[in-house]
Amino acid sequence: MDHPQQDASPSSDPRTKIVDALMQLAAEKPWDDFTLSDVASRAGVTLTQFRDLFPSKGAVLGAFSRRIDKIVLEGTNQDLAGEPAKERLFDVLMRRFDALAPYKPALKHINDWAMRDPLALAALNQLALNSLRFMLEAAGIASEGPVGALKLQGLALTWAHLFHIWLTDDTLDQAATMAALDKDLSRGEALVARAEQIQHLAAPLQDFAQRIFGGAKRERPES
């Protein structure tokens, strides 16, 4: 897979400049070794402008995550619409890794920071969860309802596992990442199939309970 290149042309949008500056600095040094002022200086904006747009470095990471989401969603291949769900999701997630590839040095430093800070790790996991909801939808997989929630949570665990493999996968074809992704998706597919079967079997009981306990409310007698 070809890796997308970062846009070499400077952007006039201050939000874009701040995101670019933060990822550049994160690639050069550990997360805790640069400040908001460093990011503002690299971006060519004042601290006042920075504050108007983002409240923290973490918020800039949120904008970066949405940038990656947009790249993946805009590149969704409708030619795969007739393929099995596993193949569609495999394509979406590998395109996400492709979009992240130019930022791997920065992401290694960010991951090192997050692994030392439980609160940071929880915040990054929430960012990932928000993104993965859209990745499922891009693959034509519903993320609503009990089974949808199971798919999303399962995918979040899979992504966390794969992300750490990808960070150390320096092969051009990302062979280790693709092999792990294929294995994890096969395992997840089996779990979801069992969950859907259980939901199907439980549906009559849910309907019965709804009729018994969720019927018409008793009207109060008029005084």
Instruction: Please give the tally of structural domains in the chain.
Output: 1
Give 179-219 pLDDT, tens digit per residue: 999 999 988 776 555 555 444 444 454 454 455 545 544 45
What DSSP character marks residue 46? -
| 70 domain-assigned | yes
| 101 domain-assigned | yes
Q: Does position 79 have pLDDT exceeding 80, yes or no?
A: no
Which CATH number do you get for residue 109?
Answer: 1.10.357
Give 1-15 pLDDT, tens digit per residue: 444 444 444 568 999
162 and 184 Cβ atoms separated by less than 8 Å: yes
Give 152-170 pLDDT, tens digit per residue: 888 998 999 999 999 999 9
State residue 207's pLDDT score: 52
Residue-number span of the structural domain to which 192 is assigned? 58-202
- Two tokens, residue 14: 């201050």
Q: E strand or H helix at 4, and its extent?
A: none
State residue 219's pLDDT score: 53
Among 166, 167, 192, 194, CA closest to 179:
166
| 47 domain-assigned | no
